[in-house]
A = this chain, B = another copy of it.
Amino acid sequence: MNTPFADRLMAAVRDKGTPACVGLDPLIERLPENLRKKHAIDTAATDACGADARSRIANAFVEFGQGVIRAVAPHVPAIKINIAFFERYHTEGIRAYHELVQASHEAGLIVIGDVKRADIGHTSMQYAIAQLGGEGIPPSAVADAITINPYFGSDGVAPFIEVAHAQNRGLFVLVQTSNPSASEVQGLTLPDGLTVCQHVAKLVQTWAAGEGLIGDSGYSCVGAVVSPRDLESTVRIRELMPNCIFLVPGFGAQGRTAGEVAKCFKEDGTGALVTASRSVIYAFNDPKYGDAHGDHWRACVEAACKDLVVALRDAVGITGAKTPH
């Protein structure tokens, strides 16, 4: 943890030879059937409001997550864990989230906590310490980087940057999200011709270029969440944030194409991490891999993870290593 986050991430991408990241978004109704049975999870149980039911679900999430981590760790540099799916089960779920963050560290994965937090200054500091580390928080329990929301502007983001820098961890600021109605706010066009999200991109680059934040890799601990929408705007947004690593959601289930994703990388083949979630972690429900009932769900997840790596390499032509140009 003595190396800046961006340099650690770029080294991990080089080592694994792929900029692929697996997203872990566990939904109880989509877990393998034998795991649901083992933890006594059925409709009657989940209907109950008690901590016991939530605890059994949290335990199933931990076992599922550990299986996913073991299956994907040999193949990809990073895992993204979305805390919403754990917060859903209150304290029991939050315990499972931090256990899986720790298990990811132990498996040698870079862990991105997809928490999308934001508030005003002194409150942001509480979130920053909770999610990136500080007094009273075991370093192994918190992610290497988290996602945050830019709506508050600089002083809401500053505490996150302060903690990320101090802990050699990172941030991915939401710039352009993958949902259909993202354009309602992010896509508004300003008098200078930039959209709101392009203006946010300029702000993020300013934050990223703060004193001491850019590592040897040329990238900052402040990155951006960018879901490509079309080739032209993606090229523009890549230019606006030269020092930012892009966290690119939506490859796979959310349907972004290889060509769109490719534009999130710089010409040298670096600068983005591409995530796929449901297409990998629920591969056992896909007829292509299909084994929802048996004990082979981990093998299905591993096969889908390897296919993700191949798809990124073949279609996008990118391995995450610097290419001469």
A195-203, A239-247, A258-266, A287-295 - interface stretch? A195-203
Q: Are A120 and B85 in contact (CB under 8 A)?
A: no
- CB 8 Å contact bits of A76-119 with B (1 = contact, 0 = none): 00000010110111110111001000000000000000001111
Do the beta carbons of B95 and A126 come within 8 Å of each other?
no
Is B123 touching A90 in the complex (CB atoms < 8 A)? no
Q: Are B49 and A136 in contact (CB under 8 A)?
A: yes
Whether, in the assembled complex, A74 has its beta carbon less than 8 Å from a beta carbon of chain B, the answer is no
Q: Within 8 Å CB of A174, what residues of B?
A: 151
B137 touches A90 (CB 8 A): yes
Does A25 touch B at the CB level, under 8 Å?
yes
A202 to B: closest C-beta gap in Å: 10
Please choose the segment from A64-72, A180-188, A230-238 that sits at the chain B interface, where 4 or more of its residues have CB less than 8 A away. Answer: A180-188
Query: A46 in the interface, Cβ–Cβ < 8 Å?
Result: yes
Roughly how many angstroms separate A138 CA and B48 CA in the complex, as a whole number?
9
Contact A138 B49, CB 8 Å, known A123-B84, A155-B181, A179-B153: yes
A95 touches B88 (CB 8 A): no
Closest B residue by C-beta to A150: B185
Number of copies: 2
Cβ-based interface call for A189 (8 A): yes
Determine if A21 is an interface residue (Cβ-Cβ < 8 Å). Answer: no
Contact partner, A126, options B84, B127, B200, Cβ 8 Å: B84
Tell me which residues across on chain B come within 8 A of A98, comparing CB atoms: 90-91
Among A53, A95, A119, A174, the one with the most B-chain Cβ atoms within 10 Å of its Cβ is A119
Interface centre among A89, A152, A180 (most CB of B within 10 A): A152
State in angstroms the CA–CA spacing of A101 and B160 once bound together: 27
Asked if B152 and A177 make an inter-chain contact with CB atoms under 8 angstroms apart, the answer reads: yes
Inter-chain CA distance A8–B127, complex, in Å, is: 31
CB A242 to nearest CB in B, in angstroms, measures 20
Q: A49-B137, A84-B127, A89-B136 are in contact. Are A179 and B151 (CB under 8 A)?
A: no
Would you call A123 and B177 a contact (CB within 8 A)?
A: no
**11 pairs, CB–CB < 8 Å, chain A vs chain B:** A25-B123, A82-B123, A87-B130, A87-B131, A91-B95, A149-B151, A152-B185, A153-B186, A184-B203, A185-B199, A196-B196
CB-based closest 6 A-B pairs: A153-B184, A153-B181, A84-B126, A120-B179, A154-B181, A49-B138
Starting from the known contacts A93-B130, A154-B184, 9 additional A-B residue pairs (CB-CB under 8 Å) come to A49-B138, A82-B119, A84-B117, A84-B124, A116-B119, A151-B151, A153-B181, A188-B190, A191-B191
